[in-house]
Amino acid sequence: MDSTTKSSPPLSDKSRIHVIIVGAGFAGLGTAIECHRQGLSVAVYERFPELKPLGDILSFGSNGGRIFARWGPVVDRMLPVSINLQNYGFRIHKYTGEHVHTQPSMPFNRQAPTINGHRGELHQILFNYARDDLKIPINLGSEVTGYFESTNGAGIELASGEKIYGDVVIGSDGVRSQARALVLGRETELESSGYAIFRAWFSNEDILADPLTRHICENGDTFNGWIGPDVHLLVSSLKGGKDVCWVLTHKDTSEISDRWSFPGKLADVYKVLEGWDPICKRIVSKTPESSLVDWKLIWQDPLPTWISKHGRIALAGDSAHAFLPTSAQGATQALEDGVTIAICLSRAGKYRIPDALHAFEKIRYDRVQKVQETGKTTRDKWHNASWDNVKRDPKAIELPREDWILNHDAEEHANKMCEEIFGARSNRRARGESRI
């Protein structure tokens, strides 16, 4: 054999793992992109007939940015619509108005950037990359009404009656997941977290027109927070100060029904902010009421398993684990799920799919639970702040940035764990590939 490196022959369609993904959110798209990257056959089914630019600010920690950086042009497309706080940081105030601390921004790292932008815009970038750049089949307007599996395969049934067959199904169909009932063998109930948020995103014209609020936008991107008893307000400007976003987290006793998103009323926001720094109400007053959302924060205790009886269907993202916004990790953990699923399937091979999905759960389960808990601990840290302690140590009020979360490399970790579980060359043996 000469010294020239020879690539393995392309896998025949019959020998490739066929992955069906339900849901084209961040979990679904992330899983699809990484499955494609690992050489698997993948198709996505999404019930919405078209993308809608829903939501407002969304955060990906550097552990998510590290994943994006490996996906071709994705980071270069996201950075222009992402907040840039290198020269501003996070300015933290007591609810009565005193500026107590400025938390510096983390140094920019192109290989693992922090991405904060509009959910709809970031989602569109990822969708376009999957569909247009990678040519991944994404079937919009395809409502999934049922799931099925056997020891040899799995699939979905569409509202049209058509059945789609594959080797494995990934249910990334959100907090209302139908796949969850099949995996657990029962329906589950979502619970109220005891909190809700008012949230809004709008353009900067009225903020700029008022001398008292102009500083929020006139010099580029900003990030300010006001911390009070069981309440906190975060205000950002993005895209060079062109857009404004704010999120107000507060106690809420509403019951969770089949809806938890409602049109918001400014009068209700003002009630929460009574006695607060007047600038908070002034910023809120610039908000077009049509852009205000009253969002009830749901919670679900950790599921006993994410894997179905025959090991052919797995849950990912919000289907498996709902996150509170104060974790700032929900979307990133969905990406980590997708990377891990794809690597486990690739390393285990077509004839060990149940082993692959159980390996995914083993690799991810404890980490996800620990990261979920940070949503509660960060919220409680702010909502029960001791201002005497903060006066002695202003860093005590900072937004936590845990190294064990942010420095995690999901791809590297999954490969390392799979080598321990399956062996270094198990994927080639399982797929019938010869050594080079």
Please give the positions annotated as active site.
199
Better-predicted residue by pLDDT, 186 or 339: 339
- pLDDT tens for 102-121 read 999 999 999 999 999 999 99
E strand spans, 204-329: 222-228, 231-238, 243-251, 261-263, 293-299, 313-315
Boundary of a domain, candidates 298, 329, 345: 298
Where is average pLDDT lowest: 4-8, 29-33, 78-82, 318-322? 4-8
Domain count within the chain: 2
Percent of the chain with pLDDT over 90: 81
What's phi and psi for 156, nearest 5 deg? -135, 155
Same domain, 35 and 172: yes
Same domain, 312 and 348: yes
Residue 399 has pLDDT above 50, yes or no: yes
- pLDDT tens for 167-211 read 999 999 988 888 998 898 888 877 788 899 999 999 999 999 999
Same domain, 51 and 29: yes
Q: Is 193 left (phi over 0), alpha (psi -120 to 50) or beta?
A: alpha
Cα radius of gyration rounded to whole Å, the chain: 23
Boundary of a domain, candidates 253, 277, 298: 298
Same domain, 71 and 184: yes
Same domain, 345 and 415: yes
| Strand order from edge to edge, sheet including 90-94 | 99-103, 90-94, 222-228, 231-238, 243-251, 191-203, 293-299, 261-263
Residue 53 has pLDDT above 80, yes or no: no
16 vs 41: CA distance, rounded Å: 6
436 vs 426: CA distance, rounded Å: 14
Expressed as residue numbers, the domain containing 264 is 191-298
Average pLDDT over residues 374-395: 94
Q: How far is CA 92 from CA 39, 70, 146, 257, in A?
A: 46, 33, 48, 35
Same domain, 370 and 251: no
Q: What is residue 11's predicted lDDT score, i.e. its pLDDT? A: 43
165 vs 148: CA distance, rounded Å: 9
Give the predicted TM-score (pTM) of the model: 0.91
Same domain, 55 and 74: yes
Residue 32 has pLDDT above 60, yes or no: yes
Report which of 118, 116, 121, 127 is spatially closest to residue 25, judged by C-alpha positions. Answer: 127
Q: Contact at 8 Å (CB) between 345 and 34?
A: no
CATH number, residue 246: 3.30.9.30
Q: Percent helix, strand and coil across the chain, each rounded to 5?
A: 40, 25, 40
